[in-house]
Amino acid sequence: MSKHSSDDTFRTEQDIHTDFKEKTTYGDYLQLDKLLDSQKRLSGHHDEMLFIIIHQVSELWLKLIIHEIKGVISAIKRSELQASFKMLARVSRTQTQIIQAWDVLSTLTPAEYMEFRSSLGNASGFQSYQYRLVEFVLGYKTPHILKIYEKDPGLHAILKDAYHSPGLYDVSIQALAQAGLAIDEAVVKRDYSETYAPNESVEKAWLKVYQDVDRYWDLYQLGEKLVDIEDWFQQWRFRHMKTVERIIGHKKGTGGSSGVGYLKKVLDHTFFPELWSIRTRL
């Protein structure tokens, strides 16, 4: 399109606002001055910009995931399952975005990364407190993780609270019990600071839901939404592991973890075990 025709199009839009001396602009609302000034390369290497932006964008998506899952937990506690389904669907869509971010990061070659890796010091994605919050709200609790955040008392308090609070699967199991399905009392009143372990009564309850879909339609939908989230989460973990392997091989992570070895181990963890085991029994 020529400049002349573009100007003509603009002039026909008489209601477009152009005077923002005393009004909020797009940039003001999104605080773009702060957001776009947050990419501080430590090495000056061209490709470090990619590395920073990918991780910052992923942290923003993690913030949204945490926000939505907290909303889901509250909705399920209020027995508003239909309201929770919209938020759970949004979480799944958001997960596709952070998975695709690994495809962009994988354009970084090993030689390019080695040019600025030393600038990171001991900083590592392993230390992402939002990632830990996602694990906590999904029910995966590991006590040694909290030590990483003792440097910041405020942040440590937030993580400690989430560590001792019921996760998404806990309130889902409580919903099963409220629907009249037999759940062991020890599971309903369990210590939330411990990582959830499979339970026979929970498996039997989910099995009953899946065998009588019409009667337990809302719980059936809830189960499938949880499976969606775990499925996408495992795909994110896998892409993370393969991207790290592609870029640094089997070197130790900058944060001291075994790198690929550690990422392979967490692939074996299941957040909602009974929702997977019942598929064999159906």
Helix, coil or strand: residue 231? helix
Contacts for 12 with CB less than 8 Å, ≥ 6 apart: none
Contact yes or no for 62/131 (Cβ under 8 A): yes
Distance CA 163, CA 157 (A): 10
Annotated binding-site residue? 98: no
Contacts for 186 with CB less than 8 Å, ≥ 6 apart: none
Annotated binding-site residue? 65: no
Helix, coil or strand: residue 112? helix
Which CA distances in Å does 134 have to 162, 204, 233?
Answer: 9, 27, 10
Instruction: Give first-to-last CA distance, the chain, whole Å.
Output: 60
Annotated binding-site residue? 99: no
Annotated binding-site residue? 54: yes
Tokens of 96: 């596709």
Residue type, 170: D
Annotated binding-site residue? 279: no
Distance CA 112, CA 218 (A): 50
Contact yes or no for 226/211 (Cβ under 8 A): no
Buried b / exposed e over 193-218, threshold 16 CB at 10 Å, is: eeebeebebbbbbbbbbbeeeeebee
Tokens of 243: 């991207």
Annotated binding-site residue? 247: no
Distance CA 106, CA 115 (A): 16
Annotated binding-site residue? 55: yes
Q: Which residues contribute to the annotated binding site for substrate?
A: 51-55, 113, 117, 254
Q: Which residues contribute to the annotated binding site for heme?
A: 240
